[in-house]
């Protein structure tokens, strides 16, 4: 009897102790919850890159410390949002911001020395990625849970999802859905299809592995299985219709890593970056990290058309053939093509913008023309830049109206337009002089309107224009620097004339298809 009373007392004491412990823990949790604040996003997740696109909106490249651009949730298609929810946290719309089972599993794994455990909610992932350090510990996991609960109670689900989509890593260097859409598919996030959205949602699971999709068969096969799993979940939840599920096809991925053409495009980005920073009155570093979208005046298809005939014409052995190409819109100044070199990595100097190329007879059409500023000063220069000489010919094409060349069409950020280009024009040539130059061009090139000039066999210039477009190409050759000796002028190879003619034809036919094809340029002579 006494033993039973003793056991009863002990059981009551144990229950009281457990109750006190539970109340203490609950009280501590309440205090901890009230004392826990929602931290600001750490600096790395606040950084954005600036994206450059061509005149039609095709992706050109980016500048910035991280490849990330914020995008409002309203600009992310609903099917993309639902794909991410299906892949990462199917109870997101209804949960409290945490998954208790996932927390216990992760805590046990950490305490027992096991591997990292997944299963966190979208809210927890956002807190971990954007608000806390990546350190793995029980205390950090507990803080993550408290912040997630508080975040879920103080922010809407849409705010949390927007923050998550703008910070989650997708591989290929892309942080956030906007950068991922461009890096994987070359489109804006707002243009992602059902299949593309499901593919990006599938990538989140192992981004460093899946980033090779499209260029690695094994990776592509594994991602395909996960992509189908995401689509099935979307169909089961009603996020997409059975017809949409049946019509889904694995999308084509941009090749990764990027091809060699990206190196050539750095010339374009350099020029547009300098101009955009000047227009906004900020430094280029501030521009790079500011999350701007720069719509340039360039036409990437025409740029590639200009580069193609140059690519395989490196010149004779031991000679480096330099080619500069500029295509301008007469009377406006928009630069459609700016080819400054074959490989930015080997030669960051832009021959089209800053190269001084001996003009020789290329200036002859202007010798009898009445020139005003800035062409009057140009006529006195023995070695103009290809951009400045192209602008002179574009002035004649516009009947004497000089338009200052520009490369930036529009600058936006967060959906707001900060700058829109307006042509800066002035009269630099009287109409009769402009007509005289045009007559000379057409008589020199037959009815095709091509003029070829140069300085003996050292340089070659070729220009073709009409009222819509003016294209100029300049070529010169060098013996590269070697053994402490600087680079020196070399004679142009016999293929230079053909290269120039093909370049001008390619650009004009791409940008102004109604213009007639130019005739073959004349052979080089030894005359000066």
What is the 3-class SS of 297-340, one letter each residue? Answer: CCCHHHHHHHHHHHHCCCCCCCCEEEEEEEEECCCCCEEEEEEC
DSSP 8-state secondary structure symbol assigned to residue 343: -
| Band of pLDDT at residue 153, cut at 50, 70 and 90 | confident
β-pair type (50-53, 470-479): unpaired
Question: Can you spell out the DSSP letters for 40-101?
Answer: PPPHHHH---EEEE-TT--EEEEESSSB-----GGGS-HHHHHHHHHHH-TTTTTS-S--HH
Give the confidence band of 328 by pLDDT, cuts at 50, 70, 90: very high
Q: Check pLDDT > 60 for residue 115.
A: no
pTM (2 d.p.): 0.76
Q: How far apart are CA 380 and CA 415, in angstroms?
A: 46
Residue 208 half-sphere exposure, CB side, CA atoms within 13 Å?
0
Cα 4 to Cα 1, 8, 14, 16, 18: the distances in Å are 5, 6, 15, 18, 21
Of the listed ranges 27-41, 88-102, 199-213, 489-503, the one predicted with least confidence: 27-41
Give the pLDDT band (50/70/90) at residue 319: confident
Q: Which residue has the higher pLDDT, 37 or 44?
A: 44
Give me the pLDDT at residue 305, please.
Answer: 83
CB contact at 8 A, 68 and 176: yes
Sign of the four-CA dihedral 237, 243, 249, 252: negative
- Residue 349 gets which letter from DSSP? S
What is the mean predicted confidence (pLDDT) over 82-108?
80
Q: Is the pLDDT of residue 27 over 70?
A: no
Indicate the range of 126-130, 349-353, 509-513 predicted with least confidence. 509-513
Mean pLDDT score of the chain: 82
pLDDT digits (tens, 9 = 90+) for 336-390: 999 998 888 778 889 999 888 999 898 888 888 888 989 999 888 899 999 999 9
pLDDT attached to residue 517? 42
pLDDT band (50, 70, 90) for residue 228 = very high
Query: pLDDT per residue over 170-190, tens digit each?
Result: 999 899 999 999 999 989 999
Query: pLDDT: is 316 or 328 the higher one?
Result: 328
pLDDT in tens, 262-290: 567 889 999 999 999 999 999 998 999 88
Higher-scoring residue by pLDDT: 500, 337: 337
The pLDDT, as a whole number, for residue 289 is 87
Length of the chain: 528
For 1, which DSSP code?
A: -
Q: Is the pLDDT of residue 22 over 70?
A: no
Residue 62 Cα distances to 66, 262, 291, angstroms: 10, 11, 10
Whether the per-residue pLDDT at 21 is higher than 60: the answer is no
Q: Is residue 312 predicted with pLDDT exceeding 80?
A: no
Query: Does the pLDDT of residue 44 top 90, yes or no?
Result: no
d(CA 26, CA 16): 15
pLDDT tens string 379-419: 888 999 999 999 999 999 999 999 999 999 999 988 899 99
**What band does 9 get if pLDDT is binned at 50, 70 and 90?**
low
CA 77 to mean position of chain CA atoms = 21
pLDDT higher than threshold 80 for residue 313: no
Centre a 10 Å sphere on the Cβ of residue 64 and count the other Cβ atoms it contains.
20
* Banded model confidence at residue 42, pLDDT cuts 50, 70, 90: low
CB atoms within 10 A of CB 88: 20
| Residue 13 clears pLDDT 70, i.e. is over it | no
Q: What is the pLDDT averaged over residues 421-449? A: 81
Res 447: pLDDT: 45
């Amino acid at each position: 009897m006494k033993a039973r009373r003793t056991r009863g007392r002990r059981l009551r004491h144990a229950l009281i102790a457990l109750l006190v412990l539970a109340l203490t823990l609950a009280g501590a949790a309440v205090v901890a919850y009230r004392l826990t604040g929602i931290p600001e996003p750490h600096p790395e997740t606040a950084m954005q890159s600036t994206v450059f696109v061509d005149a039609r909106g095709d992706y050109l490249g980016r500048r910035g410390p991280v490849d990330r651009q914020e995008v409002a949730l309203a600009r992310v298609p609903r099917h993309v949002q639902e794909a991410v929810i299906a892949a990462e946290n199917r109870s997101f719309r209804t949960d409290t911001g945490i998954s208790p089972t996932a927390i216990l599993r992760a805590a046990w794994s950490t305490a027992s020395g096991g591997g990292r455990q997944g299963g966190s909610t979208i809210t927890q992932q956002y807190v971990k990625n954007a608000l806390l350090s990546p350190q793995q510990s029980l205390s950090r996991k507990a803080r993550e849970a408290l912040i997630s609960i508080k975040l879920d109670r103080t922010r809407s689900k849409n705010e949390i999802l927007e923050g998550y989509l703008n910070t989650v890593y997708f591989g290929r260097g892309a942080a956030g859905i906007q950068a991922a859409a461009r890096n994987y598919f070359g489109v804006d996030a707002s243009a992602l299809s059902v299949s593309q959205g499901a593919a990006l949602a599938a990538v989140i699971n192992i981004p460093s592995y899946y980033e090779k999709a499209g260029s690695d068969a094994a990776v592509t096969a594994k991602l395909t299985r996960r992509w189908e799993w995401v689509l099935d979940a979307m169909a089961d939840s009603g996020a997409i219709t059975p017809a949409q599920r049946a019509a889904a096809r694995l999308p084509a991925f941009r090749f990764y890593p990027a091809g060699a053409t990206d190196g050539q495009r750095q010339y374009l980005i350099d020029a547009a970056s300098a101009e955009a920073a000047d227009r906004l009155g900020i430094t280029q570093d501030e521009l790079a990290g500011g999350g701007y979208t720069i719509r340039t005046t360039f036409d990437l298809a025409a740029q590639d058309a200009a580069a193609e005939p140059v690519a395989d014409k490196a010149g004779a052995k031991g000679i480096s053939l330099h080619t500069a190409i500029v295509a301008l819109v007469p009377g406006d100044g928009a630069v459609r093509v700016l080819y400054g070199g074959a490989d930015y990595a080997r030669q960051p100097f832009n021959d089209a913008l800053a190269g001084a190329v001996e003009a020789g007879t290329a200036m002859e059409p202007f010798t009898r023309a009445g020139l005003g500023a800035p062409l009057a000063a140009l006529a006195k220069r023995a070695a103009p830049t290809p951009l400045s000489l192209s602008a002179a010919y574009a002035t004649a094409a516009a009947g004497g109206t000089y338009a200052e060349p520009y490369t930036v069409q529009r600058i936006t950020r967060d959906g707001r337009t900060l700058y829109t280009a307006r042509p800066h024009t002035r009269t630099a040539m009287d109409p009769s002089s402009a007509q005289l130059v045009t007559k000379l061009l057409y008589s020199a090139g037959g009815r095709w309107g091509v003029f070829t000039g140069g300085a003996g066999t050292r340089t070659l210039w070729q220009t073709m224009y009409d009222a819509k477009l003016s294209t100029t190409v300049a070529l010169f050759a060098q013996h590269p620097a070697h053994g402490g000796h600087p680079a020196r002028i070399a004679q142009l190879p016999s293929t230079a004339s053909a290269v120039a003619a093909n370049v001008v034809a390619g650009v004009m036919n791409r940008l102004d298809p109604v213009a007639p094809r130019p005739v073959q340029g004349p052979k080089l002579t030894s005359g000066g």
